[in-house]
Chains A and B, each alone.
Chain A
């Protein structure tokens, strides 16, 4: 049954023409006062783009795991950046949120939600991993948990980053997001 549902979902996803490459040129205002591109800088191999919502309790539950992943993979060349694409996103509010949540990475503002649309982000907690050319290597959830965090979850993002840094194709390149709907309009 799941494979059938997934097949239908895949057809639907293809129909919405989500890009396989991310835009490499745009810059987005960050809570650290810097305008960021979302592709990796010279010394970085990959960027993990985490779509953010101040209201999503599912993402809030994952804050510690995201912080841990960022701390673990930053020395290995992976930059984390959170993107707030929601209507009414405010840099001051996101700056306070980034501080309160202890994010060791900035939240950038995607005004108009264009980046979310280009990358197919519909839910908070959706992650896209890209390389310097903007090629997308992973898209989906942080892991298989929603709000009840388990030790035996499927750590999709960690596995994808581990595989990519080892020169392998991610064992799971696409996964389901269990977060909240992003308010994009």
Chain B
């Protein structure tokens, strides 16, 4: 759930991740895709400090501290703001490792919690909400990851469920539905440990409840990605990725369409 996953030979790592996302459109409640209107711009920049530590031979903990800045421009108004985002603490336990057995894949349990350390949209002061950096409540994640190697190939499927705590802001109590994500990936490792991966993910979220009344606002978010890792040495590596919400009607619902670039520098200890 964070970029800081330890390889089987690593004891710890620390890294810096830079993200840039451009929202170029959105999917409406009827799943129709609409490009952003002319003269409307939304950019999000993020810098994440993260680290991971192997606490038992097959278990690791990771911490991610984000800083988020948003630029929004509408006709006659523009704003830039940001701050510390929601901090995430996650864990991973590998019951089996990919490649250990012919028919049994690597099986890992994932769990995490996101703390509301960022500024929620309700407490944002900027008229365009650019100083909002968090969801304003705790979020718990649970997941199961399956992986298997075949020669230089690594195939993976991960299922995640996330649930946010109920929030009350003034007279309004909101309870968001569970968010389900299915992520599939295929990666090819080169002899120098560099790797290229294709990633496909799909997230769905049911209707929220507002003051006990269900609102029709399901979300669906598809994402396609290509990522790579390049080892600068046995201890240092660069990771990067390009992610796109395909701008195709019916694929998404109630969600922005984004193009996101990610670059990370990681130092590991074995």
Contact = CB atoms under 8 A, between A and B. Distances in A.
A61 B54 CA distance: 26
A146 B193 contact: yes
B140 interface: no
Contact of B9 (A150, A178, A183): A178
Most buried by A among B54, B55, B192, B234: B234
A34 to B, nearest CB: 28
B99 A180 contact: yes
Contact of A1 (B12, B104, B192): B12
B100 A183 contact: yes
A184 interface: yes
Nearest to B97: A181
Interface size class of A (residues with CB under 8 A): 20 to 34
A1 B100 CA distance: 27
Contacts of B53: 1
B176 interface: no
A43 interface: no
Given A9-B57, A148-B231, A181 B8 contact: yes
Chain A, interface SS category: loop
Nearest to B232: A148
Contacts of B100: 181-185
Contact of A146 (B11, B103, B234): B234
A140 B35 CA distance: 57
Given A1-B12, A147-B234, A148-B234, A57 B191 contact: yes
Contacts of B54: 5
Given A148-B231, A176-B270, 14 more contacts: A1-B11, A2-B269, A8-B57, A12-B57, A55-B149, A57-B152, A58-B193, A60-B191, A147-B192, A147-B193, A177-B9, A183-B102, A185-B101, A185-B104
Interface of B: 8-9, 11-12, 53-57, 97-104, 149, 151-152, 189-193, 231, 233-234, 269-270
Interface of A: 1-2, 5, 8-9, 12, 55, 57-58, 60-61, 87-88, 123, 145-148, 150, 176-185
4 closest Cβ pairs, A-B complex: A185-B101, A181-B99, A146-B234, A178-B9
9 contacts: A1-B53, A12-B56, A57-B189, A87-B102, A147-B234, A148-B234, A176-B270, A180-B99, A184-B100
